[in-house]
């Protein structure tokens, strides 16, 4: 345990998401607010089946959220996670570089990806997996990555875990008590998205769809893309640039 929070830190595991998912399928289910954090992860994964590369000293952890009656769409927890990571990174940097958010849940430093977020549903729970580049950034084939160390920020894993769990709980409370619209407003306020900004959607098959940003769906946060002919397409999965 770290401090008085419900954070368990292990030296190494395959995947914190997989570990919590397995626990949820077992007899002693972890409760909401449980965090599992590891120093090394050898089977992590990101969105759309990508591998999340292990980097010693970086943050790799997962938490559990119970989906209750009246909660917003479970997939919208990605916005909660992005806001929490963005604020925690901003606090750690002390103003050296302001993080920006990109749909659906990317956190960027000067346009470079600093974190990865993955949601997995297990019964009536969501496992939220988060990776943050604290000390090193991987070489990615399709995008540039950054770390907090690039801005001379020295952040201990334990301290970052404590801060992230606190901020995540705050935004989770907003999501549950004030609704998704409040979360989406905060997300857009901290993003580069605005009505009419150019957007290219990259599908997994390599195809591209170009248009402009119209809005986010208030029901689940899906991207509304306005095409050249004035029609709109609702995008619920995919990478954008």
DSSP, collapsed to helix, strand or coil, labels residue 208 as strand
Is residue 111 pLDDT above 60, yes or no? yes
Q: What is the pLDDT of residues 53-103, one digit of tens each?
A: 567 889 999 999 999 999 999 999 999 999 999 999 999 999 899 999 999
What does the pLDDT average to over 2-7? 60
* pLDDT of 203: 77
Assign 48 a pLDDT band (cuts: 50, 70, 90).
very low
Domain ranges (residues) in the chain: 7-189, 198-240
Q: What would the CATH number be for the domain defined by 7-189?
A: 3.30.930.10
Integer Cα distance of 164 and 152 in angstroms = 19
* pLDDT of 44: 59
To the question of domain 198-240 being in CATH 3.40.50.1220, the answer is no
Q: Strand locations in the chain, DSSP E?
A: 7-13, 35-41, 59-66, 100-102, 106-109, 112-113, 115-122, 125-132, 198-202, 208-216, 223-226, 232-235, 239-240
Find all residues with CB under 8 Å of 112, minimum gap 6, and list them: 137, 143, 144, 145, 146
At 149, phi and psi to the nearest 5?
Answer: -65, -25
**Which residues is 225 bridged to in the sheet?**
213, 233
What does the pLDDT average to over 20-31? 94
Q: What is the pLDDT of residues 130-150, one digit of tens each?
A: 999 999 998 877 779 999 999
**Which residues is 152 bridged to in the sheet?**
none
Q: What is each CA distance from 159 to 16, 26, 55, 86, 170, in whole angstroms?
A: 18, 30, 17, 15, 17
């Amino acid at each position: 345990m770290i401090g008085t929070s419900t954070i368990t830190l292990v030296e190494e595991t395959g995947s914190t998401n997989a570990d919590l998912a397995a626990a949820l399928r077992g007899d002693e289910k972890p409760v909401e607010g449980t965090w599992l954090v590891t120093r090394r992860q050898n089977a992590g994964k990101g969105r759309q089946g990508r591998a999340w590369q292990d980097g010693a000293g970086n943050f790799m952890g997962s938490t559990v959220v119970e989906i209750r009656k009246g909660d917003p769409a479970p997939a919208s927890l990605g916005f909660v996670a992005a806001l929490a990571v963005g604020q925690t990174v901003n606090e750690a940097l002390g103003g050296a570089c302001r993080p920006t958010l990109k749909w659906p849940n990317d956190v960027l430093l000067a346009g470079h990806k600093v974190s990865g977020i993955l949601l997995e549903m297990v019964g009536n729970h969501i496992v939220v997996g988060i990776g943050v580049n604290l000390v090193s950034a991987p070489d990615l084939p399709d995008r540039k990555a950054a770390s907090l160390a690039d801005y001379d920020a020295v952040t201990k894993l334990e301290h970052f875990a404590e801060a992230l769990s606190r901020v995540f709980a705050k935004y989770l409370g907003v999501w549950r008590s004030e609704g998704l619209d409040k979360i989406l407003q905060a997300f857009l306020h901290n993003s580069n998205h605005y009505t009419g900004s150019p957007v290219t959607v990259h599908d997994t098959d390599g195809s591209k769809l170009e248009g402009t940003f119209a809005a986010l769906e208030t029901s689940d946060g899906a991207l509304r893309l306005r095409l050249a002919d004035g029609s709109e397409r609702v995008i619920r999965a995919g990478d954008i640039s």
